[in-house]
Structure 1
Amino acid sequence: MSVKKIYLIRHGQTDFNVRGIVQGSGVDSSLNEAGRRQAARFFAAYSHVPFDKVYTSLLRRTHESVAGFLDLGLPHEAHGGLNEIGWGTREGTRITPEEDEEYHRVLQDWHAGRTSSALEGGESPEQVAARQRPFIKLLTGRPREQTVLVCMHGRAMRVLLCQLLNYPLSQMENFEHHNLGLYELEYTGSLFTVRNFLDTRHLQDVK
């Protein structure tokens, strides 16, 4: 039986990441200089991989993170299911101590299994999971795409990994993420497994 290989990465660094400003799905930011160096390092380390397809979210920071692969002419598909969680009224703002209280309350809800909880105007993990399911069906239903690169966002990645690996959404914090950090997964047709957990070796010495 053939095994599908999935290389799953978070987008590179943006100025919003550095400044502690919430991005979410409603802020379409670009990579900063450090993020572009991260993307270049990832490309240098993995340009030899024979990717059949590149998947990104609809947001430019994911497109820019895999620009080297797209410049090779690899097939590319942007999918809204890969967009970051919506943080509602908080998007584009820096979290203040008062807002921290609400944010941490929502995180506590999620950890306790109340994954329908959301910030004002934002999405819950359950809503993110629901919009990811069509992408998962697409990913698993294309046997000709044996090796794929998927670039998305931190919180949404945690939700996706829970779904692929059959973890409850309350366990999403177990899946750490880093700008341009890599998870390597394999899919046998019935089961996903992690072969490489948040690999950042390609980012050594990037500042």
Structure 2
Amino acid sequence: MSVKKIYLIRHGQTDFNVQGIVQGSGVDSSLNAAGHDQASRFFAAYKHLTFDKVYTSTLQRTQQSVQGFLDLGLPHEAHSSLNEISWGVREGTRITPEEDAEYQGVLHQWEQGETHARLSGGESPDEVAARQRVFIKLMLSRPEEENILVCMHGRAMRVLLCQLLNYSLSCMDAFEHRNLCLYKVHYTGSMFSVRNFLDTTHLS
């Protein structure tokens, strides 16, 4: 098969990002003015590409981030398997490592390989990975889609990249992210490889 090219982006900025408020799968926030500008810049940089499909989560901040491509009439599918991790009772609250011992403790557990751990009422990385495998299987079952755009969320993106590249989930923080950053991933039919890592050149 020919190489499948996956343009994997995180959504643009929201007011919650600026305010340091937790957004998980249960917070359906929208882009702020800066986020819409980021989306416009990404569109301007990549509108010349012919995407066979645009995939997003079911949350509006991802769909708003690729609206320029959707306005072109490109095929689009929204999948809950691409939604952000659920942070449980912490969603919608201000949270920092210094102020929240439980959050810091769970991050440490993940780094130690205890990826079954979760915040109260939330999801574990293992559970996020399990639901993402539904999307991965779907994506690989469609070889005719050679160029695809996928817009999702920071923590969920880290989990997905670990799965595609065969890394342990304990390594997920190695995949840094910023609002509207790009990871370009190629799939040859047997393996995935990263061609662009944390690419934000389109925002400058």
Classify the TM-score, shorter chain: over 0.9
Q: CA deviation at 1:98?
A: 7.6
Task: Tell me the residue number matched to 2:83.
Answer: 83
Instruction: Report the RMSD for the aligned CA atoms in angstroms.
Output: 1.0
1:80-109: CA deviations, max 9, x gaps?
110000000010111267852110100000
CA–CA distance in 1 between the matches of 2:26 and 2:84?
Answer: 9
Aligned pairs, number: 204
Q: Distance in 2 between matches of 1:96 and 1:167?
A: 27
Residue number in structure 1 paired with 2:57: 57
Aligned residue for 1:5, secondary structure, equals: strand
**Aligned counterparts of 1:149 and 1:33: Cα–Cα separation in 2:** 22
- Aligned equivalents of 1:107, 1:120: Cα separation in 2: 13
Q: Deviations over 1:36-81 (max 9, x none)?
A: 0000000000000110000000000000000000000000000011
- Partner residue, 1:179: 179
Question: What is the letter of the counterpart of residue 3 of structure 1?
Answer: V
Alignment gaps of 5+ in structure 2: none
- For 1:23, the equivalent position in structure 2 comes to 23
**Separation in structure 1 between the aligned mates of residue 18 and residue 26 of structure 2, nearest angstrom:** 18
With normalisation by structure 2, the TM-score equals 0.98
Tell me what 1:115 maps to: 115
State the alpha-carbon separation in 2 of the partners of residues 194 and 92 from structure 1: 33
- The corresponding residue for 1:66 is 66
Question: Which secondary structure state, in structure 2, belongs to the residue aligned with residue 119 of structure 1?
Answer: coil
Post-superposition Cα deviations, 1:118-164, rounded to whole Å, max 9, x if no partner, equal 00000000000000001000111101100000000000000000000
Identity of aligned residues (%): 75
- Matched residue, 2:170: 170
Q: Look up the SS of the partner of 2:30 in the other structure.
A: coil
Where in structure 1 are there 5+ consecutive unaligned residues?
none
Q: Does the 8 Å contact 2:97/2:103 carry over to 1?
A: no
